[in-house]
Structure 1
């Protein structure tokens, strides 16, 4: 902890990489520092009452949302924090922390020096490098193939279903409020207009609704508005049609959606996916809320039903070649010592599986990599990962590593020896049949308590 109060930059870096960590209060001075005092050059987004900055840390990047006119939007800030503290899902942008800072500032007012309260209201999130979905909506199917578009639709639906399960209405679902990670996984963001309901509450009466024109449900223009989950379903339908067609604000039929994809190479089951998604999009955008799907569960069930017959085979096969544990490789830092950490690999297939563990970062690694070997069929394997000796904690103490694995078609001694003599050539020639598992490797420090180190110490105690 910073002796002046709040967490340090190093602690924020650990927090950003720790999926199990809970959001915490963050000091204004830290957020000010990592955004270079809210430099205009670091602005990556603007909203109706906030500016979003890209904050580059020594070990990662986070996004900082700074509210303007805080006295006017205090209710939105508190509502957003309330919703964000309740959610944790792969299709919701991860919330790291908040800052509610108020300081007295003496200034001249009509010739007199007076004390005025200066409020700072900020939110901190994971950083998503691909930006928002609206930058990828195009009417050219070749630029974003159907597999990726379907994964986006499915991810958005799963995220919204999770929110509704937790009694949260988003109320401003747009392509601009859906961000994409490096693998193009969609994540819902911006809960400034969201409402959290009580467990048995299904709606609320209001006289006006803010939001984005084109994505607002038609009933929001009524004199008396009843907010329900059907509002979000309308917005979802608009987004699904935009993903399907690549166009904004168009009226569609199932037939003309299918026509858009007519010149692409799709199998019969993928055509069924397009047909089902178009049907869902059209039902969600019905003017009468009663004609929209009953709930997000209904939509999820429709997607699940069509997936039961798709049998889409991912690159590298339908099952994981190697199960990996733990997902984060932790090394308690000690000066001038090589630290080891076991990585458990389990081959549950009936084939020999070759693997390569590599540093995925662009900078020099503190690990002794790459590592290669072959795991026999139906066998557990312990890989010992070792750090290089370092006198001081390196500036880059959290790195990305990847484990590549592929099946050896023939598992005899000659083929195994051939792999071990030229492992890089083997993986280069294997191409799309390689499965990839992404992991983090990091140094832990005894004075920083994280769930990373807790998991490691718990495992050692067992």
Structure 2
């Protein structure tokens, strides 16, 4: 809807006079915002609370005021679908510090005087439709501006040279616009600048010298422009640079040697340029590099062995260069490497086995000159998702050990010299989506075991010497969209079950020796785009309907016995058998007369009757058998129920007794001096009204001690795998000695061989999960409360680890809140009660922690360590900050919280991560470090995760920076 002021037109001319009049200062903000609103379209009525009759705008949506001056200090209207222009009313907000209008539909020109507001520190106009050039006076007076983003708009023209006037700028983001011209040399005089992003524009010319003077520089992104010339030689003088991205330009020459001084650099992106020469040996001095992208350049020579010193390296892309020789063995030391792309070079030699022993996710060496057998060690990493060895000269068989790589999603061995048969082991790859073995020398049949590859979407076996029939069981691969079996020696017909693959889009069976008619059911395939059966021996008519009504002649040519309109050849007419009357019949009755039926029809009726009788008899037998079975089951259930009731009745008596060591009667131990007897006894455990919840280790109930004190009792449901009484008591007593304000106190236990209870203090505030995710809860956690929960949880884990206890099962439902909002972590250390953790830990009962579980849990050689808790803590911290669950299941996708947050952080869209319930009320100087810390805790590599004591120290530094007291921060 469009807003128009209920004021005369002359108001806009006398507004400055009003500002200078004796009207209270607060009204300046009201009037300014109403003028600002008048230029907008607000389709969702988000600004409905803005009323020109109010004395103050401090309670308006998106508006915050300074409590000391009662003047507007922040205007945050991100993502509200607002449109219109940025009106001059905003200039009346003389105390404005933060202006954030990102992710709307603002258009028109930028206001030249916008940055002249003296209090302005942060301006975010990104992701809108602003156009035109940056006004000449835009940067002339920047006051105390620290942050400016106009990214993702339609701003054109050159960057004004007076950008250097904004001497206080720490972050400047003009990315994804239409800026052109040269990069102004004065930009390197912004001594406080930490981050510069000009990517995705059309800026041309050379990068001016002087970048070495940027002593506070942390990040520079010039990707996707038209920059030319050399990389400045003094770039290595900006010693604090961590991220350098100049990819997608026209830069030339060799790498400046000063780069080796950037010991803190973690990202170096030089891809898609024209850099040349050999990769210098000093590249190994950049020991903090996590990503090195030199792809699509003209580098030559061998890959230097010093690259093995890059211990932190996670991504290495040297593709599309002129590298030669063998891969250096030293690369086996890059144990953190996740993505390796060496494709489109001239590398030679064998594919070393160490490649498969690293924790790599992606291995791409396509289009090189690698040779020899493909040897996959039995102890290969199970993390590989992409394996592309295509377009080399590998020979020998496909190793059956490939089945050990259960995470494999993309397998391409095409265009090599691989021989032998297709291994049955491919059917064991449950996650594989693409298998391309085309252009080799494979023989034998297509194994029917391929049906086991349930996620398969593309199967490409063309240009081999495969024989035999197309296995009908391929229909089990329900996700298949592409099937290419062309240019082989296949025989037989197309299995009708192929029509069950309703996702099929492209099929190529050409140049084989297939015969028979095409199954009519193929005409029902709804998504078919191509179906090539040319150069075979098919016969009969084509299926009718959908794609086959308009199939091209080239797709069915050279099948001599095919007929129909598509091949311009008529099919033989169908002639039914003639009706023959029985000459021996003397009856004159009509054929409908049952008395004149021929003898053969009479026998036919008898046969039908016999079959019907047999079916009826069989059905009756099944019904009788079912009745008997149900009766037996009911009898068993009644017996079991009576036994269970008796057992619980006995337990009730035990719980009423004093502590005893008599194993025949059970043992109740309380760690405090309080009376151990319960008011209600064990029968309370049978009352559903007393149940507080259920978790991976059992159900939790609330009951009362005789002194009136409530306790929580966990009834373990893992009795069959719990350790012996001696080991059980040893572990529980160890846990009972733990005392920390952020831990749920363990007060006692009860033991019999068939029933184990653990007694905890009762925490009345409920679980963190309910508070974050249950819509029925009216209370919303503030940022302060969330931070305190994160810090308290971290302290409890650090305390546990210092005492040799691993929590293992950390999740929001195991974090309780007391009446004061203090977090108390429960369910700690229970995994130690199980004698065979590797057998039980991944069972469905424990999978309630899915999303919090560290990736090493997927390893066959399961190793539980404190770093598993650190991973779970990182996920929990992100859950608290964002208000989102660790894993969400959409209709066609699985949304993993860590991946979403990491992606938004990379796009500088941290505010999109935050829980909407916070309504923007969170300090960025705390939220960003907390999110980054959480992401470090969720590193895929356990050794990259910090200790929990370090996490606590970092959180305390975030809350109370060095040299800042709590009083100063408040």
**Is 1:89 the counterpart of 2:745 in the alignment?**
no
Q: How does 1:44-193 map to 2 (within 5 A)?
A: 44-57=692-705, 59-68=708-717, 70-74=719-723, 78=729, 81-101=732-752, 119-138=754-773, 143-191=780-828, 193=830
Worse-matched range after superposition: 240-249 or 184-193: 184-193
**Is 1:5 the counterpart of 2:658 in the alignment?**
yes
> 1:264 is matched with which residue: 920, 935, 954?
920
User: SS of the residue aligned with 2:678?
Assistant: helix
Counterparts of 2:869 and 2:882, CA distance in 1:
20
> 1:305 is matched with which residue: 929, 951, 957?
957
Specify whether residues 291 and 69 from structure 1 end up closer, same or farther in structure 2 by C-alpha distance, changes over 3 A only: closer
Aligned to 2:558: none
Aligned residues: 274
Specify whether residues 34 and 59 from structure 1 end up closer, same or farther in structure 2 by C-alpha distance, changes over 3 A only: farther
Specify whether residues 37 and 258 from structure 1 end up closer, same or farther in structure 2 by C-alpha distance, changes over 3 A only: closer
Shift of the alpha carbon at 1:182?
1.1
Shift of the alpha carbon at 1:188?
1.2
User: SS of the residue aligned with 1:30?
Assistant: coil
> 2:940 is matched with which residue: 251, 268, 287?
287
Q: How does 1:214-253 map to 2 (within 5 A)?
A: 214-249=851-886, 250=897, 251-253=900-902
Shift of the alpha carbon at 1:77?
5.1
Shift of the alpha carbon at 1:69?
5.6
Specify whether residues 174 and 80 from structure 1 end up closer, same or farther in structure 2 by C-alpha distance, changes over 3 A only: farther
Shift of the alpha carbon at 1:209?
3.6
Specify whether residues 40 and 274 from structure 1 end up closer, same or farther in structure 2 by C-alpha distance, changes over 3 A only: same
User: SS of the residue aligned with 2:927?
Assistant: helix
Q: Tell me, yes or no, if the aligned pair for 1:80 and 1:194 is still in contact at 8 Å.
A: no
Shift of the alpha carbon at 1:193?
3.9
Q: Which deviations, in whole Å up to 9, do the C-alpha atoms of 1:288-308 show, x marking residues without a partner?
A: 212222x11111111122232
Q: Tell me, yes or no, if the aligned pair for 1:128 and 1:179 is still in contact at 8 Å.
A: yes
More strand by share: 1
Counterparts of 1:257 and 1:142, CA distance in 2:
24
User: SS of the residue aligned with 1:65?
Assistant: strand
Specify whether residues 3 and 233 from structure 1 end up closer, same or farther in structure 2 by C-alpha distance, changes over 3 A only: closer
Shift of the alpha carbon at 1:81?
1.1
Counterparts of 1:263 and 1:171, CA distance in 2:
33
Counterparts of 1:139 and 1:127, CA distance in 2:
21
Specify whether residues 313 and 40 from structure 1 end up closer, same or farther in structure 2 by C-alpha distance, changes over 3 A only: farther
Q: Which deviations, in whole Å up to 9, do the C-alpha atoms of 1:191-236 show, x marking residues without a partner?
A: 364449xxxxxxx996774442211111111121222211111101
Counterparts of 2:657 and 2:804, CA distance in 1:
38
Shift of the alpha carbon at 1:31?
7.2
Q: Tell me, yes or no, if the aligned pair for 1:79 and 1:194 is still in contact at 8 Å.
A: no
Counterparts of 1:72 and 1:25, CA distance in 2:
31
Q: Tell me, yes or no, if the aligned pair for 1:35 and 1:53 is still in contact at 8 Å.
A: no
* TM-score (norm: length of structure 1): 0.52
Counterparts of 1:139 and 1:85, CA distance in 2:
32
Specify whether residues 217 and 83 from structure 1 end up closer, same or farther in structure 2 by C-alpha distance, changes over 3 A only: farther
Aligned to 1:274: 927
Aligned to 2:210: none
Counterparts of 2:787 and 2:709, CA distance in 1:
29
Counterparts of 1:237 and 1:264, CA distance in 2:
22
Shift of the alpha carbon at 1:70?
2.7
Q: Tell me, yes or no, if the aligned pair for 1:80 and 1:191 is still in contact at 8 Å.
A: no
Specify whether residues 134 and 77 from structure 1 end up closer, same or farther in structure 2 by C-alpha distance, changes over 3 A only: farther
> 2:691 is matched with which residue: 16, 21, 43?
43
Q: Tell me, yes or no, if the aligned pair for 2:783 and 2:921 is still in contact at 8 Å.
A: no
Counterparts of 2:863 and 2:686, CA distance in 1:
39
Q: Tell me, yes or no, if the aligned pair for 1:154 and 1:303 is still in contact at 8 Å.
A: yes
Counterparts of 1:233 and 1:284, CA distance in 2:
6
Q: Tell me, yes or no, if the aligned pair for 2:816 and 2:823 is still in contact at 8 Å.
A: yes
User: SS of the residue aligned with 2:747?
Assistant: strand
Shift of the alpha carbon at 1:263?
4.5
Specify whether residues 292 and 56 from structure 1 end up closer, same or farther in structure 2 by C-alpha distance, changes over 3 A only: same
Q: Tell me, yes or no, if the aligned pair for 2:679 and 2:704 is still in contact at 8 Å.
A: no
Counterparts of 2:674 and 2:850, CA distance in 1:
34
User: SS of the residue aligned with 1:51?
Assistant: strand
Q: Tell me, yes or no, if the aligned pair for 2:656 and 2:678 is still in contact at 8 Å.
A: no
Q: Superposition RMSD on alpha carbons, in Å?
A: 3.7
Counterparts of 1:263 and 1:3, CA distance in 2:
52
User: SS of the residue aligned with 1:125?
Assistant: strand
Aligned to 1:361: none
Specify whether residues 216 and 174 from structure 1 end up closer, same or farther in structure 2 by C-alpha distance, changes over 3 A only: same
Q: Which deviations, in whole Å up to 9, do the C-alpha atoms of 1:317-360 show, x marking residues without a partner?
A: 99xxxxxxxxxxxxxxxxxxxxxxxxxxxxxxxxxxxxxxxxxx
**RCO higher in 1 or 2 (8 Å CA, sep ≥ 6)?**
1
User: SS of the residue aligned with 2:749?
Assistant: strand
Q: How does 1:327-406 map to 2 (within 5 A)?
A: none
Shift of the alpha carbon at 1:154?
0.3
Shift of the alpha carbon at 1:311?
4.8
Specify whether residues 49 and 195 from structure 1 end up closer, same or farther in structure 2 by C-alpha distance, changes over 3 A only: closer
Counterparts of 2:879 and 2:837, CA distance in 1:
30
Aligned to 2:948: 296
Q: Tell me, yes or no, if the aligned pair for 2:771 and 2:779 is still in contact at 8 Å.
A: no
Counterparts of 1:148 and 1:178, CA distance in 2:
14
Shift of the alpha carbon at 1:127?
0.6
Shift of the alpha carbon at 1:52?
1.2
Q: Which runs of 5+ in 2 are unaligned?
A: 1-654, 661-669, 887-896
Specify whether residues 180 and 298 from structure 1 end up closer, same or farther in structure 2 by C-alpha distance, changes over 3 A only: same
Specify whether residues 41 and 80 from structure 1 end up closer, same or farther in structure 2 by C-alpha distance, changes over 3 A only: farther
User: SS of the residue aligned with 1:158?
Assistant: helix
Q: Which structure is larger by alpha-carbon Rg, 1 or 2?
A: 2
Q: Tell me, yes or no, if the aligned pair for 2:808 and 2:868 is still in contact at 8 Å.
A: yes
